[in-house]
Amino acid sequence: MEATAAMRQYCVASRMTIQVLLRSVRRMGLCALLLLSAYSGPSVAVEAGWDGPNNDPFGLQPKERNIARIKEIPIALPGEFVMDLHRASDFDKTNTYIADQLGKDDYDIALIPNSTLSVVKFPVPKGGWINFNDYLAILEQAPGVADAQPNFVRYTTVGQSPFSDPQASKQWFLQAINAERAWRINQDASSVVVAVIDDAIMVQHEDLQGNLWSNPGEIPGNRIDDDRNGYVDDINGWNFGANNNDPSPRGSGCIESGHGTHVAGAIGAVGGNGKGVTGVSPKVKIMALSAGRPDSKCGFDSAGILEAVRYAVDNGAKVINLSLGGPMGTRIAKQTYQYASDKNVLLVVAAGNDGLSNDVEDIPQGSEITLTALVRDNKVVHQALAPSYPAAFSRSIDGMLTVANMRADTQNSANLFLYRRDIPWDYVGVGVKVQGGKLVTKGFKKLSSGSWVVGSSYGARTVQIGTPGTDIFSTIPKPSGDGAASGYGMMTGTSMASPITAGAAALLWSSFPELSNVQIKQRLLASVKKNSDLSGKVGSAGQLDIYEALCGKQFSKRATGCDGNKPKSKPPQAAPPVSKPVPKPAPTPETKPKPAPEPKPKPKPTANDWLRGAEDPSEGSIEW
C-alpha cells in the first residue's frame, strides 16, 4: 500500500504564521504527511450482519476463519506507532535519531498540534508485516521519547439496524429518561459545547445546523488560521481523517456512513423547528470532530481519536461523547483522557456491544484478555475482545462516565432491561496474549450453552449507568447523487446510549454551571432510577433519569422551577469563550541520556515488554 493511501497531507503554506505550522516532516517529499485516523462502522463489534462490507475497513482480519486454525488476530495498523515526547521541542532530535538508526528516510512522522504526541509510520512490505520489536526498540531509545505504542484500531459501538423507519414518534427513549418532564424545567443548554468524536458528522443536516458550535476565533473561508490553533477555517470542528474543515461524510469520502450523524442528533437535534426529531438537549452547541479516514470507508484508529480529544478540550468543549472502543488501554491514551478530565471536561463513553464484562484489571505484562468467537459451520463469523477502551478507563478517571445499553419490552415502557440478544458466544480464546500488533492464542474452547450472550457490555466497576440505546430514532445522512440529503433512521447499541447520556449531562450542566465535571457525573449517578436488572452489572445499579438529576429532593440545590415556581425569565446565555490551547507541562528531563543501540539491537527490558510477547526463536523477532 502506498504511503499516500494511508496518510493525510499537511502542506505548509507560506502565509501561515509560525504558531500555525505543524512541526512535521515527510522525508519523501515537500508535504508533511500525518497518519491520524479512527475506526468506523458498523464495525467488527456489531450485533448483527457480521458479514457487512464495513466490518474490516483496514483489511486486517486474517483470511483463515476456521476456528481450529486461528492463532493470531491483528489489533493495530502495521508499521504505525504513537509516541509521547517529553516536550514538543524534542521532535527534531527524535526525528533525526530515527533517520540515523534506519539509515534511510522512507518513513513519515509528524507532531500533533498543541501536544507532545506524534505519529510515525514505517514502510510496510508487500506481505503486510514488519519487524515490530526492532522498530519499537528504536522509538524507545530515541532521545525525547517518553513512551511509544502501536496505533491500535478502534470500533464504533453500534449494532446494525435498517434506516427505513420514518416515524419520529419512535423516540420512545425521551419518555424513558424523563426528558419531557425535564424540559418543563430547562430546554436550553446552548451555553454548553458537546464534542462528538466519531466517523463523520453531517453538519449540513437540516436538524443539526441550528445547534452547531461555531468557532468564534475563525473567519469563514479566508483560508487563514485566525485563532492560531493549528487548524485552518475550523468553523464547526475538524476532519482529522481527511485533514480538512468539513467533518461531514462528504468531507471524509464516505457518504454511506451515518454513525456520527446519528449520535449528534441523539445529543442535540434542534427542538421545536418542525423538522424530524429532537435531541435530549433541544438547544446545545455540537462540535463536530470527524476522525473517519477516506481510504478505509471512514475507518479510524486511536491516533486520530487522541488528537480530536486534545482539540475538543483546547477549544472549549465541556462534554465529549465517545461512541467507540477497542482492545488495549495504553498509557498514552489514558494520559490524553486524563488531560481532558483534569481540564474539567466530562467524557461520556459507550461500554461496548459484546455482552462481555469490562471489569478486568488494567492489562499487566503478559496477562490474558477475553476473546470470544461466534462460529457457524466451523467458521468464525464474529469475534469480540474485552475489556473495551476507553470505557474501562472510567474506573480510574474521575471525569469519565461509561454507559450501558438498555431496552424496553414495548416502546414507551417504563420497564427497562440491560440489552441482550438471543445469540450466545460459542468459543472463548485460551492463553490470549499481546504480541506486537496482534493477539495470539493457543486455541479456543467451547463455552457452555448460553453462558455468555451477545448484548450490551457491562461492569460494576467500569460501567456506571444504564441508558436506553435500543431502536433509537435520530438523524442520518441519506445518499443523494454525489452528496447526501437530510434523513432519519434507527440504530441500536451503546453508541446510542452514550450520546443520550451526554445530552442529559449538557442539560444538567447548563442548569448548574458552577458544578465541576465530576460533580455533574455524581449528580447523574445519584439520581438514577434503581433497576434490579443492572444490579452487579452497572456501578449505580440504575438507569438515567434527567428530571431527577435536575429536581431530585435528595439534593440540597435543585434547578429553578423544580418546586412548581415559575422559572425566572432570563435571556439565553452566550457560549463561553474558547480557551486558548494550554501546552502540556514538560516533565523533568532525564539527567542521563539513553545509550544509542547497537546495529539491530536486541530490545532491552522496558515498560513496553508486555506489547512484545515471547520472541519467536525461529525468526529472532515478532513479525507484525
- Active site (annotated) includes residue 382: no
Q: Which residue out of 161, 495, 527, 540 is catalytically annotated? A: 495
Residues 271, 188: contact at Cβ < 8 Å? Answer: no
- Active site (annotated) includes residue 248: no
**What is d(CA 171, CA 279) in angstroms, rounded to the nearest whole number?**
9
- Active site (annotated) includes residue 314: no
**What is d(CA 328, CA 291) in angstroms, rounded to the nearest whole number?**
19
Q: How many residues does the chain have?
A: 624
**What is d(CA 420, CA 457) in angstroms, rounded to the nearest whole number?**
9
Q: Which residue out of 86, 205, 259, 382 is catalytically annotated? A: 259
Residue 525 CA, distance from chain mean position = 22
| Backbone Cα Rg of the chain | 23
Name the one residue in this structure whose C-alpha cell is 418532564: 181
Residues 404, 537: contact at Cβ < 8 Å? Answer: yes
Closest CA to 517 of 333, 327, 319, 337: 319
Closest CA to 327 of 375, 370, 296, 382: 370
Q: How many CB atoms lie within 10 A of CB 66?
A: 11
Q: Which residue out of 198, 207, 246, 471 is catalytically annotated? A: 198
Which of helix, strand or coil describes residue 504?
helix
Closest CA to 515 of 339, 346, 376: 346
Could you give the C-alpha distances from 106 to 3, 123, 444, in angstroms and in order? 9, 7, 40
**What is d(CA 534, CA 460) in angstroms, rounded to the nearest whole number?**
9
Residues 332, 342: contact at Cβ < 8 Å? Answer: no
Which triple of cell numbers denotes residue 430?
485460551
Question: Bridge-partner residues for 300, per DSSP?
Answer: 38
Write out the catalytic residue numbers. Answer: 198, 259, 495
